[in-house]
Amino acid sequence: MVGWATKGKVVFMVTEGPSFVLKGTICHSKSVRELETVPNGFAVCESGVSAGVFPTLPERFRSLPLVDHGDCLVIPGLCDLHVHSGQYPLRGFGMDLELLDWLNTYVFPEEAKYAELDYAEKVYGGFVDDLVRGATTRASVFATVHAGATLRLMERLEGSGLVSYVGKVNMDRNSPDSLREESAAASLAATRAWLEKAVGFADTRPILTPRFVPSCSDDLMKGLGSLQREFRLPVQSHLSENRGEVAWVRELAPDAASYGEAYGRFGLFGGEGVPTIMAHCVLSAGSEEELLLKNGVYLAHCPQSNVNLSSGIAPVRRFLDRGMRIGLGSDVAGGTGTSILRAMADAIQVSKLRWRLVDQNDAPLTVPEVFYLATLGGGSFFGKVGSFAAGYEFDAVVIDDAVPGFAPDLPPESRLERAIYLSSEVKILDKYVRGRQIKRT
């Protein structure tokens, strides 16, 4: 079945997926701290939607095609809530610098190159291929200020079968000439033109993307707020990542009660009808933390980039205990790779350092918790995503975790933990998004 749905003026295609059964060792989250595992179990997909997980296949599903993966791990697809496609060539560069110096020295000169569509095609092809090879099935992606290149990225992602949000970045101040848009009006006009072309995709949708408060004037933010209400689009940006950045925002927006409020006063910080992702939130506290909670803003925890750029360790334990919405981000190129399996391990490791060195009231994160962040936690931004419970969109990844030294009698929970920590050694055998098998090279 093929149909059309509208979201404001943005039109996207809706397709119905296939029906089949996956057999393997099923692992998925039932809640933040509860992991369900079913050895030699069956995950059933009906028309692209999960019908549930079963230790024995019910009679009513026995006529469906069966894909038998033996004892391999079968997990929900992983969600990356924050990744910069335009920084993909920079992985591993400048990790001795802090955020603002790194942006000026490496990132901005690199992103200026995307004015050339041939360059964008080359990089975005490699970036999308990388996502396809890994365990990520959904992602919220920053492009650059260039509308033409952003559309090319959307086309590449659409062809991959992955589900994504993609944002044309907005920047009209405190940026190099090669990236700074001529004015707020010019930035808004380019964004509107891009939105009017970003239609007809089944799996790739636009998201408003002010880079961060320092690079966006009040006029630009006000205009983006108007576009958000007109097109009813989600929003993504950065929040309270680095001490120098936070101090800069205080200078630029002295009348705002917090960095978050500098977005909120323009209608770009969650709340009814404004689904929002804010990356990092390392230094979010007090009134800003309360606003994040009240407005239901999603926090994209990016542990690897926070370490690489010396930004600090987000208080994820406190955020989780307060019931805030949190997922994980690779944050390429602050992070050196697109693996959300690796991000899970990093999240645990940095939480241990925070507990030991910063606040012993913030207990370290656990494997079930970071697995939740990578699946249900981040997945909920995309809808009913991140679980094999009945009614969820069927995103699945099959992992061969038979690494050197593998002990076949390990319980599923231990096998999952080991696959997270040994992510570079395990093999991704198969991947499905909305029930459709993803072609991997």
Q: Where are the domains of the chain?
A: 2-76+387-437, 78-382
Q: Which two tokens stand for residue 93?
A: 């560069």
What are 169's strand-pairing partners?
209
Residue numbers in the chain where pLDDT is lower than 70: 1-15, 406-408, 441
Q: What pLDDT does residue 2 have?
A: 30
| CA dist., res. 105 & res. 96, Å (int) | 11
Q: What pLDDT does residue 29 have?
A: 98
Q: What pLDDT does residue 14 have?
A: 52
Fold (CATH) for 78-382: TIM Barrel (3.20.20)
Give the SS3 label for residue 363: coil
Q: Which two tokens stand for residue 61?
A: 């599903």
Contacts of 435 (CB under 8 A, 6+ apart): 17, 18, 19, 20, 45, 47, 48, 49, 393, 394
Q: What pLDDT does residue 408 have?
A: 65
- Tell me which CATH homologous superfamily contains domain 2-76+387-437: Urease, subunit C, domain 1 (2.30.40.10)
Angle 125-128-130 from CA coordinates, rounded to 5° = 105
Nearest CA to 162 out of 437, 377, 387, 373 is that of: 437
Secondary structure letter of residue 358 according to DSSP: T
| CA dist., res. 40 & res. 23, Å (int) | 6
CB neighbour class for 276 (10 Å; exposed up to 12, middle 13-18, buried from 19): buried
Q: What's the half-sphere exposure (Cβ side, CA atoms, 13 Å) at 165? A: 26
Q: What pLDDT does residue 407 have?
A: 67
pLDDT tens for residues 307-362?
A: 999 999 999 999 999 999 999 999 999 999 999 999 999 999 999 999 999 999 99
Give the SS3 label for residue 339: coil
Q: Tell me the pTM.
A: 0.96
